Structure 1
Amino acid sequence: MQISQATRNDDDAIWRTIEPAIRAGETYPLPRDLTREGGLAYWWTPGHEVFMAEEGGDILGTYYLRANTGGGGAHVANCGYMTSPEARGRGVARAMCLHSLDRARARGFRAMQFNFVISTNEAAVHLWQSCGFEIVGRLPGAFSHPSKGYVDALVMYRMI
């Protein structure tokens, strides 16, 4: 698996990767009816550095890296990750997380924070914990899950 910086020429592959998670509405807090243009505008928000994981020409996942906030908190990174449905369970998210920690460290970030991890996304919670993240906050009922109703969102954090 190779992880490399994406360009706007990769928009079709990125959209094919992120659209299923957006439409499902179970793991990412974006509107389920978000358009392609809106989804790509979000993924490419100014300040996002975008990467893609691929193998044999197949796009397996994508992530962005950014500063979580500015000013006195600009030393804390934030990322968003999405794995294509066909690639789930193959270690893609772990590889992207480890890559993002290395990239964040190289950019001078001192920590990484995930602001809104959906508590019912148990695979992601377990994965992030296995990568050294701790749950540092719980937002009760902060996410409206399409089938489970209002569920908690977690704030996860680690030094890098």
Structure 2
Amino acid sequence: MADPAQPAVPASTIRDFTIQAVTIREAHDDDWPQIWPILRDVITEQHTLPYDPAMTEPDAKQIWLLPPPARTVVAAADGRVLGTANMYANRPGPGNHIASGSLMVSRRARGAGVGRALTTDMITWARRNAFDAIQFNAVVDTNTSAIRLYESLGFVTLGVAPGAFRHPVAGKVGLRVMWLDLERDQP
């Protein structure tokens, strides 16, 4: 069931099909057969997330489908999972007032607002759960579409670890730490 606080994204054309609306909802075990190909493709591309490209499906499922109080969602339209995100406390104990998360969008749904819908849902979840901020720990410097998206939602770059990500084409590139302060009014 869709989160009533999260409106559906309007109709968009996605490469080889058209969707009427993207709905963000809790992920379930029966979504895994559609989630895994997205994760596998993004991870093996090695362009946007620092995950081991040799990760097995069971390992991926264990790190992606997180139990409460963490949350894993899918962006779905017309019975298809187009993207997924997970969200959780960034650190245990004294760091548990800061949220973090990751998101992945299927190749054919990129640029259609799915990443924005997932990130907006993450922000709503973090506010609803009284987190003070969201910290993305490893945004690859060459992932300019994600950086633009996050900045448009109010995130700022706190710093860049130079050469911390081995990009298969660009070589060693920086990893950004990006931050959204939820205690201030945001756009």
Return the TM-score normalized by structure 1.
0.96
Deviation at 1:40, TM superposition (A): 1.2
Match of 2:166 among 121, 137, 144: 144
Larger Cα Rg: Structure 1 or Structure 2? 2
Aligned residues: 160
CA distance in 2, matches of 1:30, 1:122: 19
In the TM superposition, structure 1's runs of 4+ consecutive aligned residues that sit over 3 Å from their partners are: 45-48
Name 1:97's counterpart in structure 2: 119
Name 2:33's counterpart in structure 1: 12
Return the TM-score normalized by structure 2.
0.82
CA distance in 2, matches of 1:119, 1:143: 9
Q: Which has the larger helix fraction?
A: 1
1:22 is paired with a residue whose SS is helix
Deviation at 1:45, TM superposition (A): 4.3
Deviation at 1:46, TM superposition (A): 4.8
Q: After TM superposition, list the pairs within 5 Å mapping 1:7-156 onto structure 2.
A: 7-46=28-67, 48-156=70-178
In structure 1, stretches of 5+ residues that fail to align are: none
* Partner AA of 2:23 in structure 1: Q
- Is 2:83–2:105's contact at 8 Å kept on the other side of the alignment? yes
In structure 2, stretches of 5+ residues that fail to align are: 1-21, 183-187
Identity %: 36
Name 2:9's counterpart in structure 1: none
